[in-house]
Amino acid sequence: MPNIIHLVLAHMDGLPDGNDGLGLFIVPKFLVNADGSLGSRNDVKAVSVEHKLGIHGSPTCVMVYGEQGGATGYLVGEAGKGLRCMFTMMNNARISVGLQGVALAERSYQRALAYARDRIQGFKLGDKSGKRVSIIEHADVRRMLLTMKTTTEASRALAYYAGSMIDRMRNEKDPAQAQLAAARVDLLTPLVKAWSTDLALETASLGIQVHGGMGFIEETGAAQYYRDARILPIYEGTNGIQSNDLVFRKVLRDNGAEARRFEDEMRAFLKNFAGKPSDDLDVIAAALDKAIGALAETTNWMISNAKSNTDAIAASAVPYLRIFSTVAGGYMLARMAYAAHEALLTDGANADYYNAKLMTARFFAEALLPQIYGLMTPVMGGHKTVMQISNEQF
């Protein structure tokens, strides 16, 4: 019989000063004997299973510890440093939840794509022959599918890029390089968590829309992604918390230094595009260059208002994270587009694949990256009434 381990953050009495009053404990279902065998039942009880909107494979329970005399727990790390211990887990979990968003979005896209290829309805625009076509031929269905494909590729690339920085943070021989990688991981973690999971919701919703009425039927499967995805912007720190983390701890604490270093890296990368005879690369580079400028302007606004108008910064954190992530996602797609353009010169056998990468990046540059221009004004001016309206006036 397997044992079950609970990780419990609990208040601790009688600790010395300078602690957070918490301890992180391992509380097993069965105590463990000295020889490693299972011992007696611990005072741990699941009193109910929650009825959740989604992720039904994961039974969330209301737990009761120690109601019948006391439960035994084993302290993890130091007493009074429980919150710090938990954040070690939490930071890993944030990247993982971001990847969960990418995975859900990918499944949702694949299912919608298969349906759009299969389902025959309507006629090709302007065709009077009466020939019915698959719905993938309809412009708006294509727009939805391309949005799903592009944002999923961008958010996956951003998560992998963050992963590569975790590797460098751990393995760089040069401590200065390792430290720079760590700063980049810190900056990217809230983007990966919040952006990937917001996109997972949007993608799962589009996935239902592509299915039409069939998407509303549970047996089709599209609805499950929509239900499952809804927890992602909430757990391991809501996306509002991620946005505050980005603004207050990752951008403002070093006065924008790491944010600017990332902007500089993106600008430097775009120099590779100069002189390449590609209309796609030209469009992508121009759109991204303009977007980096917009991000820089917004970041500077956040920095100059950091002290005088903290409430405004907090009220603008979510759209600011969206701007930052969208530009970072555009950078990821630009890197893929550049690699695809170079690969096309030598690998003609895979031209369809590489050309798809170029089109995906161009679609993002033309259709999705401009969203940030609809968010800059809100960030810099949309916060006034948020704090002005009284609680009673809502």
* Residues with a known catalytic role: 236
Are 233 and 201 within 8 A, CB to CB?
yes
Minimum CB separation from a second copy for residue 323, in Å?
10
Q: Which is nearer to a second copy, 162 or 301 (CB)?
A: 301
Neighbours of 73 (CB within 10 A): 20
Q: Which is nearer to a second copy, 192 or 232 (CB)?
A: 232
Minimum CB separation from a second copy for residue 274, in Å?
23
Closest C-alpha among 182, 197, 204, 202 to residue 97: 197
Question: What is the C-alpha separation between 388 and 394, in angstroms, rounded?
Answer: 11
Question: What is the C-alpha separation between 111 and 210, in angstroms, rounded?
Answer: 10
Q: Which is nearer to a second copy, 346 or 388 (CB)?
A: 388
Minimum CB separation from a second copy for residue 70, in Å?
27
Distances in Å between the Cα of 163 and the Cα atoms of 70, 167, 261 are 41, 6, 18
Please give the backbone phi and psi of residue 147, each rounded to the nearest 5 degrees, phi first: -60, -45
Minimum CB separation from a second copy for residue 152, in Å?
12
Task: Tell me 135's DSSP state.
Answer: G
Q: Which is nearer to a second copy, 184 or 230 (CB)?
A: 230
Question: What is the C-alpha separation between 59 and 48, in angstroms, rounded?
Answer: 10
Q: Is the dihedral of CA 295, 300, 301, 305 positive or negative?
A: positive
Minimum CB separation from a second copy for residue 385, in Å?
4
Closest C-alpha among 199, 198, 215 to residue 112: 215
Q: Which is nearer to a second copy, 227 or 267 (CB)?
A: 227
